[in-house]
Structure 1
């Protein structure tokens, strides 16, 4: 069960390692400073976490030059609401452990569609039927591009 302090921490967007250290005393940060964290490193960590935890149909979309909301978007599926929540929680925990990145997470309670905002990378974790309904890949991929071409 999450404490009120942990829920409050999850509602904060920050790349500030000092803030992460204050929020999590004693948590190893591996000497990473906020200047060392790039969107490419965050993306790689997210993709590794999703792969390690059996995320399905993982697609990454390069948003640079298209929008100011972030540099990358990652979309993936989990087989059930429970797996969707677990995938999202593992991504958030892995980013905290590796980089001290505190992410905003929405939708974990229902487990149909979980949004993780890391600042530079936006992650959507869906149940397959919900993903099919919203078809975010079609909205963000260039015209004529196939989601399978960008699958990791």
Structure 2
């Protein structure tokens, strides 16, 4: 036996009004100024680059993504000599970020072929050289301007 279907017009009206969605705020919160966001991202980029350089990461490339994607302001790509070196670079970078109040999440640590560290406005990829050549992220994001490590 199938249950009887009722239509809206045949249902009794409830004395309690149905909850309504809240109207969106009339005025959205003011976004951070572009200059401030750039300064914060630039400082964070300096922290990332110093950490990578201190851990002897190779072929460090910082790509400016501002205006290209909302996911991050910069992407940094670096290489380690071995799985253990890649893992050590990423772990040390996460520790450095914590010292600066940023909880940088790392993905891919157990394997050590490619570790991604999410540092809020900066995404850091640390590869073994063979894996880096295979994925070639620099070419994929080549329309972003490369930032020289010395310029930061």
TM over 0.5: yes
Gaps of 5+ in 1: 1-34
Correspondence for 1:129: 130
Question: Scaled by the length of structure 1, what TM-score is found?
Answer: 0.69
Greater relative CO, 1 or 2 (CA 8 Å, sep 6+): 1
Correspondence for 2:113: 112
Contact 2:41/2:122 (8 A) holds in 1: yes
Gaps of 5+ in 2: 1-36
Question: Scaled by the length of structure 2, what TM-score is found?
Answer: 0.69
Q: Of 50, 53, 66, which aligns to 2:52?
A: 50
Counterparts of 1:130 and 1:62, CA distance in 2: 22
Moved over 3 A (4+): none
Correspondence for 1:24: none
Compute the RMSD of aligned alpha carbons: 1.9
Contact 1:58/1:151 (8 A) holds in 2: no
Question: If you compute each CA radius of gyration, which structure gives the higher value, 1 or 2?
Answer: 2
Counterparts of 1:150 and 1:132, CA distance in 2: 20
Correspondence for 1:81: 83
| Length, aligned pairs only | 112
Contact 1:57/1:151 (8 A) holds in 2: no
How far the C-alpha of 1:150 sits from its partner, in A, is 4.4
